[in-house]
Amino acid sequence: MNKRIYIGLLCLTVVIALPFGTDAFLGRSWVRLLDFALLYTMLALGLNIVVGYAGLLDLGYVAFYAVGAYLYAMLASPHIGMHWPLWALLPMGALLAASFGAVLGAPTLGLRGDYLAIVTMGFGEIIRIFLRNLNITNGPAGIDLIDPIQIGNFSFGSSHSLLGWDLPSIYNYYFLFIVLTAFIVLVSYRLSDSRIGRAWAAIREDEIAAKSMGLNTRYLKLMAFAMGAAFGGISGVLFAGFQGFISPESFTMGESVMILCMVVLGGMGHLSGVIMGAILLAILPEAFRPLSQFQQITFGHVWLDPANLRMLMFALALIVVMILRPEGLWPSPVRRRELHQNDAMPASVQKEGP
Amino acid sequence: MNALHSPTHHLLVAKGIGKHFGGLSALDQVSLNIPSHSIYGLIGPNGAGKTTLFNVLTGIYRADEGEIHLNGVSLTHSSPNEICKQGIARTFQNIRLFGNMTAIENVMVGRHVRTHSGMLSAILRLPSQRREEQEMMAHAQGLLDFVGIGHHANQIARQLPYGDQRRLEIARALATQPKLLALDEPAAGMNDTETATLGRLLQKIKASGVTLLLIEHDVKLVMGLCDRVAVLEYGRLIAEGEPISVKNNPRVIAAYLGTEAA
């Protein structure tokens, strides 16, 4: 028990010290990157409920991020002239996104695998195109001058001094995002280790058997969709307040794919793995930035734009990981077994297939 | 057998069940009356429609004709999960466990339908939810002990020996607290000793008040165990009754051995 307390304290210290260390050694832009990494972590954790726990492939997940972001942008900006507080908009964003999740889930319940992926992809695009073409969302121009997040009198958008240190707004957001990420981790963990979590796992393993054991698979899948979407909505609300400006271009399918990659690369269904995947993929592109300088110095010319190089490296990394470790970098034991099902199984136990 | 002299209560009543795949009649006017607290055998040559009938009774297929009642409640148009909730649980011919979960988790999934904790109570870890989890675990362990694999509780289902996987499937089905337990070839692939142990287990389940419906190829097991037997051939019921009379029914002998033997 003592050991766990020490480990907990150590983690807490690292989490608190991280932005200060990053700022001192790598510069302030990296702290901002940390903030984004946390937003992606929340998104990946939300998608993990749908893909990792319930085994439903969702390629339109970014739609729920958009729903949360636009909710905040419209109700907390001069756009309509409303300035609602975070404590109201955060749960509203979660609820609204969850109902969108249910709306998406309801007609797709009979679908699995590829078919579900196609329908969800379409859904994601529909939302983005709506946002682009509606007047109320200000079309492709998006919404700007969004209120910074404020709780009581504490505005996250301005710097505050603490013990003589001047902390800029990215620090405020960092700590806000850490708290909410911790909340989402806790909820995810408790769900996975419960009656509902076991039911999701059972559906993922064998849907017919799950139904025959009395599981209401329709309802359970809807709950997975809604729960995952709610986390997407929360991340969206935070994103809009943090960024101060949003447009439909922040919510493309590429973004959905990126979040899915985080989940798959890290290890579907495993919280530590998903968090690692999200942070890794959010930071990786920045890590390639010095490559442009490196090229300038060695060749006297930038041959490969790091932005392109980064996509190349990213794709390569994905391919390598998926070939060598299809279960992800840090998988849950159950997932590892699922993906190595046929490796070392006594012949007598092999199933005849579904 | 004395029960037959008093008016019998029928737990499951299936009337005129028909199921067609394209032009093929997999089931044609099949009627079954399964008495409470009995072991009811369903036999027939390969392809006779036994598993199809199972799938219809458990809602995986929908019957094209006929009606199904369990204790007077109509299940004709119910989905598999509703049917399970009403009290029919099943096992599968080619074992369908949740292979990568542990044995005890498999049984706890079976318990899902009789428990209630939802998402909110799981997120908040309410005392009621924690108590229910404890109860589920204890109950599941009890069932694993009951079928004789209690020592395997934390093993991965897929890695259990074949016979134990069959038992685990039975434990998982029992966790749903069925009135009728439908077993699709539970002795398939078992040797004589394992089959004998299984027979004793089925008797024990019957003694606990559960009615059993059994598809089985092992005629010795069926004849020794079942209170009544129905025989299917080409989707039709050709005989029904006590094992002795069915065994000596010329149509049954013909179905199993070919017409010349009759």
- Domain at B208, CATH number: 3.40.50.300
Higher pLDDT, A287 or B239: B239
In a domain, A337, yes or no: no
Q: What is the pLDDT of residue B166?
A: 93
DSSP bridge partners of A150: A155
Question: Could you tell me the pLDDT band of residue A198, with boundaries at 50, 70 and 90?
Answer: very high
Domain around B9: 1-87+178-262
Look up residue B246 and give its two tokens: 């069915």
Is residue A349, in this structure, part of any structural domain at all? no
* Residue found under tokens 């395997």: B152
B78 and B190 belong to one structural domain: yes
Find residues 185-224 of chain B whose CB sits inside 8 Å of chain A.
none
What is the residue-averaged pLDDT of chain B?
A: 90
Q: Does A152 touch chain B (CB under 8 A)?
A: no
The residue-averaged pLDDT of A47-70 equals 94
- Where is average pLDDT lowest: A69-83, A211-225, A326-340? A326-340
Q: Is residue B231 part of a domain?
A: yes
pLDDT at A343: 55
Q: How many domains does chain A have?
A: 1
Residue A341 banded pLDDT, cuts 50, 70, 90: low
Range of the domain at A107: 28-268
Give the integer Cα–Cα distance in Å for A125 and A232: 16
Check the CA dihedral A9-A15-A20-A25 and report its sign: positive
Whether B9 and B78 map to the same domain: the answer is yes
Instruction: For residues B253 and B128, state if they share a domain.
Output: no
| Minimum-distance CB partner of B94 among A201, A217, A352 | A352
A199 contact B CB<8A? yes
pLDDT above 80: residue A140: yes
Which two three-digit tokens encode residue A99?
């109902």
CA dist B3 and A354 (Å) reads 41
d(CA A55, CA A335): 11
Best B88, B109, B194 member to test A by mutation, with max A CBs in 10 Å, is B109
Same domain assignment for residues B225 and B156: no
Are both B144 and B33 inside the same structural domain? no
What per-residue confidence (pLDDT) applies to A177?
95
- Rounded to two decimals, the ipTM of the complex is 0.90
pLDDT at B7: 63
For range A142-164, the mean pLDDT: 83
Q: Determine the distance in angstroms separating the CA of A255 from the nearest CA of chain B, rounded to an integer.
A: 28
- Mean predicted confidence (pLDDT) in A224-229: 95
Do B22 and B54 have their domain in common? yes
For the segment A264-273, the average pLDDT, to the nearest whole number, is: 89
- Whether residue B92 is contained in a domain is answered as no
- Which pLDDT score, from 0 to 100, does residue A349 have? 42
Q: Does one domain contain both B254 and B199? A: yes
Kindly state whether residues B207 and B261 are assigned to the same domain.
yes
Q: pLDDT band for B97, please (50, 70, 90 cuts).
A: very high
CB of B41 within 8 A of CB of B12?
A: no
Is residue B34 located within the same domain as residue B157? Answer: no
Residue-level pLDDT at A98: 96
In-domain check, residue A295: no
Residue A306: pLDDT band by 50, 70, 90 thresholds?
low
pLDDT averaged over chain A? 86
Residues of B whose CB is below 8 A from A349: 158-162, 165
| Domain boundary, last residue among B157, B177, B197 | B177
Name residues 103-132 of chain B within 8 A of A (Cβ). Answer: 105, 108-110, 112-113, 115, 117-119, 122-123, 125, 129, 132
Position A354 scores a pLDDT of 37
Of the residues B111, B144, B177, the one at which a domain ends:
B177
Given a contact cutoff of 8 angstroms between Cβ atoms, the answer to whether A149 and A241 are in contact is yes
Residue A342: predicted pLDDT? 57
Q: What are phi and psi of A333, to 5 degrees?
A: -55, -40
Q: Would residue B118 count as lying in a domain?
A: yes
- The pLDDT assigned to A1 comes to 63
Q: Quick check: is A69 in a domain?
A: yes
CB nearest to A337's CB, from B60, B89, B156: B156
Arithmetic mean of pLDDT, B18-34:
90
- Residue A275 lies inside a defined structural domain of this protein: no
Q: From CA A311, how far away is CA B114, in angstroms rounded? A: 50
Please check whether residue A44 touches B, CB under 8 A.
no
Residues B107 and B4 in one domain: no
Q: What is the bridge-based pairing of β-strands B39-43 and B228-233?
A: parallel
> Are B102 and B227 members of one domain?
no
Rounded CA-CA distance B119/A13 in Å is 32
Shortest alpha-carbon distance between residue B24 and chain A (Å): 23
Mutate to test the interface with B, among A184, A195, A198, A216 (most CBs of B within 10 A): A195
B70-90 tens-digit pLDDT: 998 999 989 999 999 999 999
Last residue in a domain, options B147, B177, B207: B177
Mean predicted confidence (pLDDT) in A134-156 = 87
* A206·B98 Cβ contact <8 A: yes
Please indicate if any CB of chain B lies within 8 Å of the CB of A217.
yes
Query: Residue B259 has what pLDDT?
Result: 58
Domain count for chain B, please give it: 2
Q: What is the pLDDT of residues B203-220, one digit of tens each?
A: 999 999 999 999 988 778
In this structure, the answer to whether residues B56 and B77 fall within a common structural domain is: yes
User: Under an 8 A CB cutoff, do A213 and B85 touch?
Assistant: no
On the 0-12 / 13-18 / 19+ scale of CB atoms within 10 A, B148 is: middle
Q: Which of A19-23, A296-300, B128-132, B222-226 has the lowest mean pLDDT?
A: A296-300
A212, A223, A234, A342, best to mutate vs chain B, most B CBs in 10 Å: A212
For residue range B128-177, list pLDDT tens digits in order: 999 999 999 999 999 999 999 999 999 999 999 999 999 999 999 999 99
